[in-house]
């Protein structure tokens, strides 16, 4: 993880339209900002606030990672920081927390999650002097609210709309990730490591989770095709970002019927997969960050790998560019897609599986992983990010089971 946490933020300087089309990942271009400048004094007296998405700062995933990254940056640079948790899961409550933060003098607002699209549309124009940094907020998330606000009907195809006509992005920066790539890596690794009965447990069927899941399917299929293996994959969404008794019972059935490893993708929903796996010696794949420590608390060695994206380095780098380097102008108005930035340094990428905690074996080694990353980077291996259509498979059998709830 050491290089993954480096401050070099390699960004794709183009609008992310991940909600539509079948864009291949081999056309990714990167533009790394210069971070060699000497840190400037906090002349603008920046104060950083984070607004939580679903869950809270103890979710061991998206919120917690973002919170800890903001807090660490603030402490390292003597900047005031606080977080705010909306009362409910709706745009009005998110906007209310933004207003509260601004009223308390915070002028940099960090928001993790696609659900902030509506809040940005509503709040950003009202506070032009506030800088908004949004993780996993794509063009479609913004347009859904903005087009409706303009009295028009949105067709859920961002490429049909001029974002800047509907959304004031002058004080907004968004980062989205190519989750399909690390999902692919996790699925490929699982099959190469010998697992043939797989499961995908998503939180809610939102674009980022779907990209993870469909990438997982594609990776598992590629590995099964190479090996000539008979692989089955159960696929379901819990329709929430937390585990509970109903979801655990559903996972109990999967594991009892032979499922060997489940990719638990969505906040605290991993709890249900891990609880069920612990009863039968099953395995789990983590998400967003390296979840080996928390999942292995259920049973030693439970975590096969994790499909990770660089939330912490994104936060650290963008705050650094804004506050230390006074370089906000380079990022304001951008929606950047973060993915592979190196074909040779696997730990430098913004999507990856953990180099240290993955359960490598003779059938899938670190060298094999490096070869996979190189092939993905140079375009030999391509991964679809289409979230509208289930991926085509050659070898594996996928049982799509809808929502548990």
Give the integer Cα–Cα distance in Å for 35 and 287. Answer: 29
Query: Which one, of 3, 43, 85, lies nearest residue 325 by Cα?
Result: 43
Instruction: Report pLDDT for 56.
Output: 86
Instruction: Report pLDDT for 18.
Output: 32
Which structure tokens are listed for 401?
A: 């089971």
Span of 239-243, 260-264, 271-275 with lowest mean pLDDT:
239-243
The mean pLDDT value for 27-38 works out to 35
Give the integer Cα–Cα distance in Å for 10 and 176. Answer: 12
pLDDT in tens, 103-116: 999 999 999 988 99
44: pLDDT confidence band, cut at 50, 70 and 90?
low
66: pLDDT confidence band, cut at 50, 70 and 90?
very high
Task: Tell me: pLDDT of 21 over 90.
Answer: no
Instruction: Report pLDDT for 59.
Output: 76
Q: Which residue has the tokens 């099953």?
A: 282
Which has more pLDDT, 74 or 27? 74
Instruction: Report pLDDT for 38.
Output: 37
43: pLDDT confidence band, cut at 50, 70 and 90?
low
61: pLDDT confidence band, cut at 50, 70 and 90?
confident
Give the integer Cα–Cα distance in Å for 397 and 75. Answer: 49
All residues at 6 or more sequence positions from 46 whose CB lies less than 8 Å from its CB, including other chains:
79, 107, 108, 322, 323
Of all residues in the chain, the percent with pLDDT exceeding 70 is 89
pLDDT in tens, 128-161: 999 999 999 999 999 999 999 999 999 988 989 9
Query: Which one, of 66, 161, 70, lies nearest residue 121 by Cα?
Result: 161
pLDDT in tens, 152-187: 999 988 989 999 999 999 999 999 999 999 999 999
All residues at 6 or more sequence positions from 75 whose CB lies less than 8 Å from its CB, including other chains:
81
Global pTM reads 0.83
The mean pLDDT value for 374-379 works out to 98
Domains, the chain, ordered by start:
25-178+311-338 (3.40.50.2300), 180-307+353-403 (3.40.50.2300)
Give the integer Cα–Cα distance in Å for 219 and 394. Answer: 11
DSSP per position, 99-157: HHHHHTT--EEEEESGGGHHHHHHHGGG-TTSEEEEES--HHHHHHHHHHHTT----S-
Task: Tell me: pLDDT of 121 over 70.
Answer: yes
Instruction: Report pLDDT for 265.
Output: 96
The mean pLDDT value for 310-327 works out to 93
The mean pLDDT value for 17-22 works out to 32
Instruction: Extract the runs of DSSP E, i.e. beta strands, from 1-124.
Output: 48-51, 81-84, 108-112
For Cα atoms 128, 178, 140, give the angle at the middle one, nearest 5 degrees.
Answer: 45
Instruction: Report pLDDT for 55.
Output: 76
Run of H or E including 335? strand 335-338
pLDDT in tens, 319-374: 999 999 999 999 999 999 999 999 999 988 999 999 999 999 999 999 999 999 99
Span of 31-45, 208-222, 370-384 with lowest mean pLDDT:
31-45
Q: How many beta carbons lie within 10 A of that of residue 79, not counting itself?
A: 18
Strand order in the sheet with 261-265: 351-352, 303-309, 283-288, 261-265, 197-202, 232-237, 397-403
Instruction: Report pLDDT for 100.
Output: 98
Pairing of strands 397-403, 335-338: unpaired
- Contact by Cβ (8 Å): 108, 130: yes
Instruction: Report pLDDT for 330.
Output: 95
Average pLDDT score over the chain: 89
Instruction: Report pLDDT for 110.
Output: 98
Of all residues in the chain, the percent with pLDDT exceeding 90 is 81
Instruction: Report pLDDT for 131.
Output: 98
């Amino acid at each position: 993880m050491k290089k993954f946490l480096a401050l070099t933020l390699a960004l794709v300087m183009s609008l992310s339209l991940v909600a539509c089309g079948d864009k291949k990942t081999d056309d990714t271009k990167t533009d790394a900002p210069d971070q060699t400048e000497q840190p400037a004094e906090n002349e603008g007296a920046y104060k950083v606030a984070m607004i939580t998405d679903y869950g809270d700062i103890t979710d061991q995933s998206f919120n917690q990672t973002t919170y800890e990254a903001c807090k660490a940056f603030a402490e390292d640079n003597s900047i005031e920081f606080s977080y705010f948790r909306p009362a409910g899961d709706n745009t009005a409550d998110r906007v209310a927390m933004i207003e509260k933060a601004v009223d308390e003098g915070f002028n940099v607002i960090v928001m993790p999650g696609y659900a902030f699209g509506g809040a940005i549309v509503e709040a950003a124009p009202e506070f032009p002097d506030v800088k908004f940094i949004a993780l996993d907020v794509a063009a479609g998330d913004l347009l859904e609210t903005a087009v409706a606000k303009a009295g028009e009907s949105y067709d859920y195809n961002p490429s049909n709309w001029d974002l800047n006509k509907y959304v004031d992005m002058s004080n907004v920066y968004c980062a989205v990730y190519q989750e399909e790539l690390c999902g692919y890596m996790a699925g490929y690794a699982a099959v190469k490591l010998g697992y043939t009965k797989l499961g995908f447990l998503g939180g809610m069927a939102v674009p980022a989770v779907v990209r993870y899941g469909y990438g997982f399917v594609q990776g598992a299929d590629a590995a099964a095709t190479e090996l000539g293996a008979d692989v089955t994959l159960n696929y379901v969404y819990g329709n929430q970002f937390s585990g509970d008794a109903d979801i655990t019972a559903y996972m109990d059935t999967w594991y009892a019927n032979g499922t060997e490893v489940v990719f638990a993708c969505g906040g605290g929903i991993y709890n249900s997969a891990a609880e069920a796996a612990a009863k039968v010696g099953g395995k789990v794949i983590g998400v967003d960050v390296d979840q080996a420590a928390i999942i292995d608390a259920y049973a030693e060695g439970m975590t096969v790998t994790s499909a990770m994206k660089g939330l912490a380095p994104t936060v650290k780098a963008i705050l650094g560019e804004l506050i230390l380097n006074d370089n906000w102008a380079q990022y304001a108005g951008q929606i950047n897609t973060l993915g592979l930035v190196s074909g040779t340094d696997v730990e430098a990428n913004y999507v990856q599986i953990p180099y240290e905690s993955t359960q490598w074996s003779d059938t899938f080694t670190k060298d094999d992983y490096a070869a996979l990353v190189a092939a993905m980077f140079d375009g030999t291996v391509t991964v679809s990010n289409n979230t509208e259509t289930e991926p085509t498979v050659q070898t594996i059998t996928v049982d799509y089971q809808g929502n548990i709830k």
